[in-house]
Structure 1
């Protein structure tokens, strides 16, 4: 499996060195030199974050709170020149999976990353990146059936979530009301297809940034993007 890793390290030479080591394992690596640059990628979660605590514009503790709010199951490894016990404890309390004190050998980081990825994903047929989807301003966690906007949970009913997944997985596809009725309620449902209109209305109300288009006389389509 090709994992995606985000590295946040402000020391450019170390950033480039660690990136080369990580890429040598055939992992997809995106590296960031500032917290702000990393912050822009939070809603497109990787399989793993490697996060320096000391950054020029923020700190790793602030970033991990935002990361965990958007993607609570994505593991984080902290790296830091500070080796105080309180830093390790605080990192664990905030949700980090591991902590490596500088200086360290790049090979040590590789070994720890390998073990953590294996631990987190060895029983998962679907990589984390596949089960977390960003649409408009929303982050959808398919495995736990939760949706967040700016870290805030949006409470959806089971059928509202099913409809959201249907639209998300088929952006640009036009669904008739009958199509939606069968896919959400099943072939055994007896009743009017107007329940589809009501379901779409409720989803739009809870998630107004979704680009769900009404195709009059036919059904609905969620626009791409």
Structure 2
């Protein structure tokens, strides 16, 4: 699992970005001021996302110290100031990407993915393929992601379509988190899907019917959440 350190002093934006990053399965540690983030530099996450304007130690100072500790750690700058100037200064200091506020959270997710691929390649995916994950128990169901099977109890198999199983695994990998319909569409149907998001509701209805004891909650106005017992 990739670890991301996010430094953003606007609390609501910090929480929003953190939520979206975690929905991708990434581990996120967030900071709201530069001094707090500075104390964590030695831990060396896989990625830093830095706001430039911060109380105390600003993003420019942080990236200098991050790159001094380990030049290979990638950094994405975000800023609401002069975009051209910040982009140039950021590149000079070693940033790997830049986003000007306001930005679409989905664009940040895509840029993070691309950056991980460029910096770390397919190593983690290859490791996962070599060591299949152990079955996950969401009582009373046992879900085997490698064999793509679901059992209730010891031997009662639950028959799921491929799409139903993909949706189930998506909820399992984000257990406890609220997942938006848009996010489910992108991950289960793909970013090229152009149909209505009603397909999400329909598929969830089918999943609930086949797995009635699955604690899949509707968070009205936002999305869905799987609660593990």
TM class, shorter-length: 0.5 to 0.7
Residue 19 of structure 2 corresponds to residue 26 of structure 1: no
CA shift for structure 1 position 123: 5.5
Counterpart-to-counterpart distance in 2, 1:124 and 1:73:
16
Aligned residue number for residue 59 of structure 1 = 58
CA shift for structure 1 position 76: 0.1
Q: Which has the larger radius of gyration?
A: 1
Aligned residue number for residue 110 of structure 1 = 109
Equivalent residues in 2 for 1:70-149 (5 A)? 70-122=69-121, 124=123
CA shift for structure 1 position 57: 1.1
Q: How many residues in Structure 1 have an aligned counterpart in Structure 2?
A: 125
Contact 2:35 2:56 in 1 (8 A): yes
CA shift for structure 1 position 25: 0.4
Counterpart-to-counterpart distance in 2, 1:5 and 1:86:
25
Structure 1 unpaired stretches of 5+: 126-225
Counterpart-to-counterpart distance in 2, 1:38 and 1:124:
28
Task: Using structure 1 for the length normalisation, give the TM-score.
Answer: 0.54
Task: Using structure 2 for the length normalisation, give the TM-score.
Answer: 0.53
Match of 2:5, SS?
Answer: strand
Match of 1:43, SS?
Answer: helix
Counterpart-to-counterpart distance in 2, 1:41 and 1:51:
13
Residue 68 of structure 2 corresponds to residue 36 of structure 1: no
Structure 2 unpaired stretches of 5+: 125-229
Counterpart-to-counterpart distance in 1, 2:15 and 2:122:
32
Counterpart-to-counterpart distance in 1, 2:37 and 2:57:
11
CA shift for structure 1 position 84: 3.1
Aligned residue number for residue 49 of structure 2 = 50
